[in-house]
Amino acid sequence: MSILKVARLGNPVLRKITAPLTPREIQSPIFQKFIDDMIETMKEYDGVGLAADQVHESKQIAVLEVAENPRYPNKPNVPLTVLINPKISPLTDEMEEDWEGCLSIPDIRGKVPRHKSIQVQAWDRDGKPLEFIAVDFHARVIQHEWDHLNGKVYLDRMRDLTTLTFLTEFARYWMQR
């Protein structure tokens, strides 16, 4: 496995709409290795999710996992999940604001409104259909990654930019609020 280079904000790859994968592409050993590399890269940088365009592959795949993450303490665990060609639909109009960061926008955080619960349809890494409901932080992570696959970053979703903060200032002024 290898750790992949993460594209940072300003790299045009982050603004492109990613291409769906065919079942045949998913089965290929090269693509399966790419999935392993995405997972390793996400873990290396303590991410809770990573979209393929963040590692320079404009394809509809994202990985996510929340497990005792130092960047997001006190969040419920989410098992390691691979989402290929995901589709999401909100289950409620209810929106919730909470902090988000992004490996492509290092050292910065801001408060982002997201749907509280969503229905997710995708393929897993074997090309098998996945369908589940995600709520709260789990739903937030998936909406964040889904945005990446559609050429968006969380800054585009903020209602205003007044909560934008560097991590050091986050720890100093915003923790526990």
Q: Shortest approach of Zn ion to residue 148 CB, angstroms?
A: 6
CA dihedral 68, 153, 3, 122 (to 10 degrees): 80
Nearer to Zn ion, 3 or 32 (CB): 3
Told to check if 66 binds Zn ion by CB under 5 A, we report: no
- Residue 100: phi, psi to the nearest 5? -135, 150
Told to check if 120 binds Zn ion by CB under 5 A, we report: no
CA distance 38 to 98: 25
User: Is 145 one of the annotated active-site residues of the chain?
Assistant: yes
Nearer to Zn ion, 84 or 147 (CB): 147
- Token reading at 134: 């995600």
- Residue 39: phi, psi to the nearest 5? -65, -45
Nearer to Zn ion, 98 or 126 (CB): 98
Site for Zn ion in 67-106 (CB under 5 A): 102
Told to check if 48 binds Zn ion by CB under 5 A, we report: no
List residues with catalytic annotation.
145
